[in-house]
Structure 1
Amino acid sequence: MQPSFPFLFSGGVPVLPQHQILARLFWMRWATIAGELLVLAGAHFWLQIALPLPALLALIGLQVLINAATWGRMRWVSPAGQGELFLQLLLDIAVLSALLFFSGGATNPFVSFYLPALAAGAATLAWPYALALALCALAAYSGLVYFYQPLHIHDQGQAMAYHLAGMWINFSISALLITWFVTRIAAAVRSRDGELALARERQLQSQRILALGTQAAGAAHALNTPLSTVAVIVGEIRRDMAGNAALAPYQEDLRVIEEQIAVCKAALESMRLDADAQADRTAALGPWLATLIDGWRLRHPAVPLAADLRWEGAAAGQLQDLSQILLTLLDNAAHAIKARNADGEVRLSLAADDSAAAKAGRKTAIIRVADNGCGIAPELLARLGRMPVDSRSGGQGIGLMLAFAAAAHMGGRLQLRSAPGAGTVAELQFPVS
């Protein structure tokens, strides 16, 4: 079966993680073959060394066939096990031993070509396989000390110079191959560790959000009865005030209490909506934001809010997440203005994203919520949205934790910028249709 997945190289090496080690062995073998051909050409044409070219070229052709089989193996989904990787490296050592047998054995300056294969085995195999591979290489090297076809060099006076030059070339190639392979393996390990750490962090954050959601559901259930009781008491007070002129000045306070009770009941009612149906619904972004702002103004009638919703033609889904984020940001901005005890204003704007993501074909909206309140201290700003924190307004930072999680859930990003005394800007980027 041929899997349909993208390829990393034009030759067809798959990107799947289970083939990364095979891919590195594949390219290291090609580098070795290229080095062997260059050395063979130099020894034959430049140094005029008599070599059994048919046998050596046949062995290099065998390496090419092994690499072709490796390329075909990487087109399958199932990963290569330790035994298969051990066999691949053992074949490399066997072919190299045969090449050395026909070209001077242990006297060949390229005998340390065993080292890249051993380094690859030590980096990728379990210790029993790595030990077995090292013993096989040691046995082959020991055998080549006694069994080999000697090299016939016409210029015996330059034999030592040739040998030293070959050792230098061998060291250079081996060092480059080992460094390349080990650094790539180390980079893959670091990348995997980073992904595991990120996965653990996301899991812990999901557990926190789930716990907070459970607590919110319990709080909503617990608040329903007290709110109903307060509503009944307010209704009785209003009836008692109907014929009492002395209580007339409190009519406005009573009206405010009734409005706040209505807001609380509406919030509890919205929590009972079907979350999946709400998440799947799509609405025009501008009108939906206008409705959200009108509802928010009922909760904070004393806080001025200027809205710029001139961007038209965008529609958004996952409205439940978007509503939770924006209400949290607007509430925080209102609290910041009240804490400053001065004239202030909350500003909300909607605009299209003209960054690289938008140029790549992804339609993205940016909603900014800004205030000219008291601002946020740098040490507190670094922790907001990532962990519960105590703030001067008495909050715990849980709303922002939920907002950051909701932004990530809807494929967006939430950023906060602030300086003490200079206000705060919250910027939400998210995909739209």
Structure 2
Amino acid sequence: MQDHDIPRLATIRRRLALLRWWLIGALTLATLAGPTLLDIALPLAPLLSLLALLAVFNLVIQVWGGNEEFRPVDLAGQLAVDLVAMGVLLYLTGGATNPLISLLLLPVAVSAFSLPARWVAGLALLSIGIYSLLMLYSLPLPVADVARATRLHLTGMWLTFVVSVLLLAWFVTRMTQTLRERDIELAAAREDALRDAQVVALGQLAAGAAHELGTPLATMNVLAGELANDPRLPEDAHADLELLRRQIGICKEIVGGLTQKAGIERAGQLQAANVWLENLLARWRTLWPNASCALEITSPGTPPRLIPEAAIEQAITNLLNNAAKIAPQQIRVLLGWNGKTLTIAVHDRGPGFPPEVLRRCGAEPLPPVAEGSGIGLWLTRAAVERRGGRLRLENRDGGVATVELPLGESA
């Protein structure tokens, strides 16, 4: 049995218990009303005792059975008890001549939708054996009038057919819905696994590229230093060279950290959310010196504390980069929280997200454009969802990208 079958069997157990309660109630009502309405003497004491035992069995399963892992053998055992209980009930009420004999099909039908073939075969053989014994051994119902007995039998057959159809339709419909929901969950899990595999592959490529970029960056830094010391260099070029050296230094820090970020995360210290985000924005401003970005706190009280994670920091940086490429002026970063969620929104004054970007919302990479490779939102969504969060995109006086992270998790 696969691990994902356990919750499905647990759902079947709950529905089977409910189905059993319905049958117990209907059979108890029929047992009590039969002698009066049908003028047939029934062995009330054995019948009611059997139904009481079946009710106790069902109650025990519901109260204590839910605390343990439910396996196919447990469900098969319950269905076998149902078959034996129905066999004893039919033995006391006419055996194979009782129109309720068709109810023996219900446990077999449930097993066919729920259990492996070997258990279905075993329950089918058990039901056939019980039916065969009831043809030989049973307590006959005392009905003297043959014509009346025929009418009662036909009416009972119709009633049994109606009950069987209603119960099977209800159970099969519920089972089909459960299977459909499981298929949707499995498809989503496969998509998440594929996306995570792509992210890991991209991380490995990034780590390799970082290793190869180290030498060219070091060469560029040496050349920039030599140019700065050249007395023939015009005075107005020194400021540009200084900016170039700072940018090269930032690139070296990023490249040097890529190999660490692609491996095992280093344990960090708790930081207040506003302090962590302000530090992140300070580092980002050195990459975008011409951009204007302000942090706004939208929630009252003390900011929550968290452990920074490189993946989430990169996700926020991706959103800031996208905003700066579209509208570098008046970028707003809104930080808010409640008892369960930390919210970070990046708001730009640009034309907003195109409809295709809103539709995909980072679910898959976009085609490369002049401003970027098209994977920033995809990586952002992957990082956020791996931490149990959510990414939302909307157009509201510009573009707004919102990251929601559960509190209690690292950020």
TM-score band by shorter chain is 0.7 to 0.9
- Which residue is equivalent to 1:252? 239
Deviations 1:143-165 (A, max 9, x none): 54565433234787765554454
Equivalent runs, 1:296-315 vs 2, <5 Å: 296-309=284-297, 311=299, 313-314=302-303, 315=305
Whole-angstrom CA distance in 1 between matches of 2:116 and 2:277: 59
- Which residue is equivalent to 1:265? 252
SS at 2:284 equivalent: helix
Equivalent runs, 1:171-210 vs 2, <5 Å: 171-210=161-200
What is the letter of the counterpart of residue 313 of structure 1?
T
8 Å CA contact 2:325, 2:371 repeated in 1? no
- Cα distance change on mapping 1:216 and 1:74 into 2, 3 Å: same
- Which residue is equivalent to 1:9? none
SS at 2:404 equivalent: strand
What is the letter of the counterpart of residue 50 of structure 1?
A
Shift of 1:229: 0.6
SS at 2:19 equivalent: helix
Whole-angstrom CA distance in 2 between matches of 1:132 and 1:292: 65
Shift of 1:329: 0.6
- Which residue is equivalent to 1:386? 363
Whole-angstrom CA distance in 2 between matches of 1:25 and 1:166: 24
Q: Give percent identity, aligned residues only.
A: 35
Shift of 1:123: 1.3
Shift of 1:232: 0.6
Whole-angstrom CA distance in 1 between matches of 2:178 and 2:334: 43
Q: Which of 15, 20, 43 lines up with 1:29 in the alignment? A: 20
Whole-angstrom CA distance in 1 between matches of 2:266 and 2:130: 70
- Which residue is equivalent to 2:340? 363
- Give unmatched runs, 5+ long, in structure 1: 1-14, 339-343, 353-357
- Cα distance change on mapping 1:19 and 1:293 into 2, 3 Å: closer
Aligned length: 400
- Whether 1:347 aligns to 2:337 is no
RMSD, matched Cα? 3.1
8 Å CA contact 1:282, 1:316 repeated in 2? yes
- Which residue is equivalent to 1:404? 381
SS at 1:247 equivalent: coil
Deviations 1:234-284 (A, max 9, x none): 1111111x3x3x722322322221221122123234446577665542211
What is the letter of the counterpart of residue 37 of structure 1?
T
Whole-angstrom CA distance in 2 between matches of 1:349 and 1:70: 52
Q: Which of 399, 405, 408 lines up with 1:424 in the alignment? A: 399
- Whether 1:337 aligns to 2:358 is no
With 215-224 and 55-64 compared, the bigger mean Cα shift is at 55-64
- Cα distance change on mapping 1:398 and 1:18 into 2, 3 Å: same
- Whether 1:327 aligns to 2:312 is no
Shift of 1:142: 5.1
- Which residue is equivalent to 1:42? 33
- Give unmatched runs, 5+ long, in structure 2: 1-5
Shift of 1:331: 0.6
Shift of 1:211: 0.9
TM superposition score normalised by structure 1: 0.81
- Cα distance change on mapping 1:71 and 1:114 into 2, 3 Å: same
- Which residue is equivalent to 1:5? none
What is the letter of the counterpart of residue 381 of structure 2?
F
- Whether 1:415 aligns to 2:403 is no
Shift of 1:405: 1.8
SS at 1:151 equivalent: coil
- Cα distance change on mapping 1:80 and 1:391 into 2, 3 Å: closer
Deviations 1:53-89 (A, max 9, x none): 233234334434554664587256354344x544433
Whole-angstrom CA distance in 2 between matches of 1:223 and 1:122: 61
Deviations 1:195-244 (A, max 9, x none): 3222222211111111111111112111111111111101111111x3x3
What is the letter of the counterpart of residue 52 of structure 1?
P
Equivalent runs, 1:66-145 vs 2, <5 Å: 66-67=57-58, 70=61, 74=65, 77-82=68-73, 85-141=75-131, 144-145=134-135
